[in-house]
Amino acid sequence: MSVELLNKDTVVQYLTDKNIISATDKAEVEVLTGGVSNVVLAITTADQKLVLKQALAELAVSEKWLADQRRAIVEADAIKLFNQLSPAQVPKLIFLDPERFILVLERVPVGSTVWKSDLLAGIINPDVGAGLGKTLATWHNYGEVTASARIKFMEDTLFEQLRIDPFYRFVAAKSPQIEVPIRKLINELEGDKTTIVHGDFSPKNIMVSMDDQIYILDFEVTHVGNPVFDLAFLIAHLLCKFFRTEDRLQAKLLSNTANTFTAEYAQLRSISPTVAKHAALIALARVEGKSPVNYLNQVQQKKIQSFTKAVLADNAKLPVANLFEMSAK
């Protein structure tokens, strides 16, 4: 069943009908871009700064990629949970419309920047990685010991649709020479139901305020699974940016960010020895998968392909630090 999508012209009336804003409010609407899976609109009134998200049934990428819109409901549950755990880092949920797959949440402070944009601009602060490592380990520890919290996130079809299929199986089908190690990584993800996993722990979903406060967004792939995925997903994005930069200082800062991220995480929780393998595969998927990054030129793409396929074909375990050191050679 198709669901009518909101837009800049219809969102104010919708929010008024739902009593989220008043008919007398002079609401300003801004279309937010950067994602491929939602309509995202910012709404500002004299008293409120809000963001509305509506899940798309088909993601806006070149390859056909369908995804269950129920992920909006999953995200709403996850926001409520993680806002309770980290209220200073996760914006509060204001409203959920489960029939139209719409959620409304508080907007992060105006002036905050998307961490992905900062990294690409050469603004690289390893302390952000450290803060994220500590927060992520705290979340994973909580999810592991709190069975009551895991109940709402046990259904993992969304993780299959949005991560395993486009990032793992799709790449395996295109690269038969590394299909066997990829299958092993898939089995590792599917066979572990340890804790609550964010599922999209990426620089594009992290914002940094002008006073260096970190905000974490986009919880629609939250599920009970293997925590190695969250670690690897962030590291893979740092690795892609590592391959992109030609500045030695920026490369060092990106490597340090990955290392401080994992070091802070390891202070609170053990790390799987396969995290570098998962990170290599996810980085490869950002070139060969269904949603490739748009900031790598052809030479950089080929370097990532060659490097990550070599890592995946090698049976040896690889520390995260070595992943960046080897990439620099």
Per CATH, the number for 11-106 is: 3.30.200.20
Ranges of beta strands (E only) in 77-147 are 93-97, 102-106, 113-114
Sequence ranges of the domains in the chain? 11-106, 113-327
CB atoms within 10 A of CB 116: 19
Tell me whether residue 187 is exposed, middle or buried, using C-beta atoms within 10 angstroms of its C-beta: 0 to 12, 13 to 18, 19 or more: exposed
Task: Write the class of the CATH domain 113-327.
Answer: alpha beta
Residue 34 pLDDT: 52
Collect the ranges in the chain with pLDDT lower than 50.
1, 60-65
Structure tokens at 64: 């056909």
Q: What does pTM read for this prediction?
A: 0.91
Structure tokens at 80: 């409520």
The CA angle 59-61-64, to the nearest 5 degrees, is 70
Q: What b/e readout covers 300-314, taking b as 16+ CB neighbours within 10 angstroms?
A: bbebbeebbbebbee
Tell me whether residue 204 is exposed, middle or buried, using C-beta atoms within 10 angstroms of its C-beta: 0 to 12, 13 to 18, 19 or more: middle
Phi and psi (nearest 5°) for 91? -60, 150
Residue 57 pLDDT: 73
- What distance in Å separates the CA atoms of residue 38 and residue 34, rounded to the nearest whole number? 10
Residue 278 pLDDT: 97
